[in-house]
Amino acid sequence: MKPVAAFAGILAASLLVACRGKPPVRGDEAVGLLVDSLVPAVERATGLRFLQRPQYAVRSREEVRAYVLNKLEQELPPKKAAGLQATYRLLGLLPDTLDLRALLLELFTEQIVGYYEPDSSTLFVVANADPAFLRAVVAHELVHSLQHQHLPLDSIMDQEGDSDRLLAAQAILEGQATLAGLQVMVPDQNLYAMPEFWETYREQFRTQQVAMPVFTKAPRILRESVIFPYLAGADFLRWWAGSEHRGRPPFGPLMPVSTEQIIHPHRFGAGDRPITLRFVGPGQGVMYEDVFGEFDMRVLAMDLADATVTAEITTPLAVGWGGDRFRIYESPDGPAMLWYIVWDDETSRSRWLAGSGQRLETRRPLGYRLEITSLHVAGHPASRITLAPEPWLGWGHPAAVEIVR
């Protein structure tokens, strides 16, 4: 359930490695000089070479806003936006007074200092950008330009109907760009072997975000979705560098396919793949369908418990998520949600029922009914969560799911 993360142009840079005291960037010439000066260092940091010279341009803040609006129209059209908004509202993750698409437009416009656009193969820098961030931002975006020259980014990012897998892919791309971009700033240091640096970087990263007013006021699910690919992706790739896979890029068949694998790299190393579910029968009245995944379930659990911990930090305690799928249905009395979760074991299901399962009742909208049913799907312990208006016609015959082999 992470379309928001797919649009994020957060492009933050560590204050530890920022340049200071220079005038704002105003033209293509200055950006071109910076790009050319950073290309060799980016190639060394990634072990890849540019096949073509990177393209670049400067854009005004108004042009950036227009770009974000256009991307939202492409990636989050009205029906999809309505379904995602209904999902967030039903679970209490988004207040009824907030419009999701309008908020995302303001959020991403605020975040962007520079961005790489695959459609035009061009790196864009915002006019009058703060030079304290610019060098690290350009290094980060040059990594994306390099990725695009060596990888089929369009197919990697085309995960319609499985936003959890999309976020896992984005975490790899952003994690590599974060690590390599920072390594460019401090070429004489081995950042992979400096845990104290990463603790400070994590703190600085979040501090920078808190300084942004739209981000600060955004609901937790949006804040965490923006941050996750950068921090969790970098953590995963730091693990990768010390694993049996080191020396090979985490792409193609080696690319993680779930946020569970990103959050718990040892599960990736053990070959633990998600269980893919699909609904059986007609989809009449369906306005939205997707996968939550472990990351969203962790954010939901944090929100239900009003916790202050962050979702992207790797922890040995897994949720026990095996796979899931949910639908949002239209109905005259309001949207209805049908959500199936397959668990690793009975203990994981029981733990979730005693925690988030019970707390969901506190978020139940007025006039709605919540029903959580324990069942098995192809022998796996599972839960079916139904949150729908009392008069909803689907109460008596909820759609079933099956495992995709």
Residues whose CB falls within 8 Å of the CB of residue 198, separated by 6 or more in sequence, listed in order: 191, 234, 235, 238
Query: Count of CB atoms within 10 A of residue 53's CB?
Result: 11
Angle, helices 163-185 vs 131-150, to 10°: value is 120
Cα–Cα distances in Å, from 117 out to 19, 24, 131, 154? 25, 22, 21, 11
- Name the more confident of 102 and 309: 102
Residue 23, pLDDT > 50, answer no
Residue 307, pLDDT > 50, answer yes
Query: Count of CB atoms within 10 A of residue 380's CB?
Result: 18
Ranges 102-111, 189-198, 276-285: which has the least confidence: 189-198
Q: What is the mean pLDDT of residues 290-309?
A: 92
CB 236 within 8 A of CB 230: no
Residue 357, pLDDT > 50, answer yes
Query: What is the rounded distance in angstroms from the CA atom of residue 239 to the CA atom of residue 377?
Result: 33
Name the average pLDDT for the chain.
89
What confidence tier does 211 reach under pLDDT thresholds 50, 70, 90?
Answer: confident
- Name the more confident of 403 and 202: 403
Ranges 78-92, 189-203, 347-361: which has the least confidence: 189-203
Q: What residue spans define the domains of the chain?
A: 3-257, 277-403
Residue 25, pLDDT > 60, answer no
| Per-residue confidence (pLDDT) for residue 10, from 0 to 100 | 30
The pLDDT tens digits of the residues spanning 29-43 come to 889 999 999 999 999
What confidence tier does 47 reach under pLDDT thresholds 50, 70, 90?
Answer: very high
Q: What is the mean pLDDT of residues 196-207?
A: 84
Query: What is the rounded distance in angstroms from the CA atom of residue 291 to the CA atom of residue 376?
Result: 18
The pLDDT tens digits of the residues spanning 220-276 come to 999 999 999 999 999 999 999 999 998 888 999 999 999 999 999 999 999 999 999
Residue 16, pLDDT > 90, answer no
| Per-residue confidence (pLDDT) for residue 188, from 0 to 100 | 87
Q: What is the mean pLDDT of residues 51-57?
A: 96
Residue 190, pLDDT > 80, answer yes
Q: According to the 3-state scheme, what is the secondary structure of the chain?
A: CCHHHHHCCCCCCCHHHCCCCCCCCCCHHHHHHHHHHHHHHHHHHHCCCCCCCCEEEEECHHHHHHHHHHHHHHHCCHHHHHHHHHHHHHCCCCCCCCCHHHHHHHHHHHHCCEEEECCCCEEEEECCCCHHHHHHHHHHHHHHHHHHHHCCHHHHCCCCCCHHHHHHHHHHHHHHHHHHHHHHHCCCCCHHHCHHHHHHHHHHHHHHHHCCHHHHHCCHHHHHHHHHHHHHHHHHHHHHHCCCCCCCCCCHHHCCCCHHHHHCHHHHHCCCCCCCEEECCCCCCEEEEECCHHHHHHHHHHHHCCCCCCCCCCCCCCCCEEEEEEEEECCCCCCEEEEEEEECCHHHHHHHHHHHHHHHHHHCCCCEEEEEEEEEECCEEEEEEEEEECCCHHHHCCCCEEECC
| Per-residue confidence (pLDDT) for residue 12, from 0 to 100 | 34
Query: What is the rounded distance in angstroms from the CA atom of residue 89 to the CA atom of residue 77?
Result: 18
Residue with tokens 């690319």: 255
- Name the more confident of 193 and 86: 86
Residue 343, pLDDT > 90, answer yes
What confidence tier does 18 reach under pLDDT thresholds 50, 70, 90?
Answer: very low
The pLDDT tens digits of the residues spanning 321-331 come to 999 999 999 99
Residue 335, pLDDT > 80, answer yes
Sheet bearing 55-59, strands edge to edge: 55-59, 122-126, 114-117
| Per-residue confidence (pLDDT) for residue 315, from 0 to 100 | 59
Q: What is the mean pLDDT of residues 197-209?
A: 84
Residue 22, pLDDT > 60, answer no
Integer-rounded Cα Rg, in Å, for the chain is: 22
The pLDDT tens digits of the residues spanning 90-144 come to 999 999 999 999 999 999 999 888 999 999 999 999 998 877 778 999 999 999 9
| Per-residue confidence (pLDDT) for residue 206, from 0 to 100 | 81
